[in-house]
Amino acid sequence: MTFKKKNYYTVEAQAKELVPGFREAYSIFEERVVLDRLSKSLITNYGRNVCHLALHFGRLPHEVSIEEINSYLYRKTVHENLSESYFKQTVFGMRFWFRLFGKDEKALKLPVIKKEKKLPEVLSKEECKALFKAPRSLKHRFLLAFAYSAGLRMNELRHIKISDIDIGRMQVRVCQGKGKKDRYVILSRYIKSRLSHYLKEVKPQVYLFEGQTPGDVMGERSIQYIIKEALLKTDIRKPVSMHTLRHSFATHLLEDGVDIYTIQHLLGHSNLRTTLVYLHIAQVIPKVGKSPLDTLYGF
């Protein structure tokens, strides 16, 4: 059963209005995300696709059979040519939803999403310098350089407060990064030398990088726009995002001789395997050690 679309503000509002029991079920979904302290973007990414599925069948998602879901996914991706991302987000969303409503056996029967083993895109040091120089705005130049200097994730960068910068210890405190963990990262000497000028000229009040309203964090779209506009003024033809700067930070540290365990700590990776990918990217010249026989005899 497919409902005829009406002029609702969002697909979520439409599902809540038209699918019996969905409003209450969706509230449980939102509550679980908050209680588990999961990312708010999870509601957006998973929730939207779950709403579409509920609307398509006119039933609560956990009442839809695996066979029906598989047919739905096949039709959407093959006949309607929807993206790989849509397929993945629907599967992940339904897996979360099934487990939430005690349907673990259904969650296990959903299609397996294989991780793509792609190496991340990385900028050269010269490309980084060109990117940081490109914006006309001091705020934008400082933002790009700061993000790279500490290898920060988008959300970590947005929530850095002026008070998180410890000039005496040459550290920046990252509060509640991924996995709700705090950590300290490098304060670059270059950043330190320009920090007082930035604070004097830009005059942020609470956060280092604020939006149009003083004291409020800068939006993700604003930062994405800054990167896009800077990129247009360079000869760089690689796709660049905030995470590209993070990948470049890690790769350049490795090329500069920093050990992989230190890089793991700086990036906030809980698993070393996540950090090891940079070994496949970095242009590291292997250091040939001495034979133990030579060390025995002082050669």
- What whole-number distance in Å separates Cα of residue 166 and Cα of residue 94? 44
Catalytic residue among 153, 161, 173, 194: 153
* Amino acid symbol at 230: A
Marked catalytic residue, from 56, 62, 140, 246: 246
**Residue 85, CA atoms < 13 Å, CB-side half-sphere:** 2
Whether residue 231 contacts residue 240, with contact meaning beta carbons closer than 8 Å, is answered with yes
Whether the Cβ atoms of residue 251 and residue 278 lie closer than 8 Å to each other: yes
CA 202 to chain centre: 27
From CA 288, how far away is CA 291, in angstroms rounded? 9
Nearest Cα neighbor of 132 from 152, 147, 151 is 147
Name the strands in the sheet holding 183-186, side by side, starting at the edge strand that comes first in the sequence: 165-166, 171-174, 183-186
- Give me the residue label for tokens 């009406």: 6
Question: In the annotation, is 153 catalytic?
Answer: yes
Residue count of the chain, please give it. Answer: 299
Q: What angle do CA 133, 137, 143 make, to 5 degrees?
A: 70
Q: Catalytic residue at 278?
A: yes
Does 261 participate in catalysis according to the annotation?
no
Give yes or no: 75 in active site.
no
CA separation for the pair 178, 44 (Å, rounded):
18
Catalytic residue among 139, 161, 178, 194: 178
H or E element in which residue 65 lies = none
Catalytic positions are 153, 178, 243, 246, 269, 278
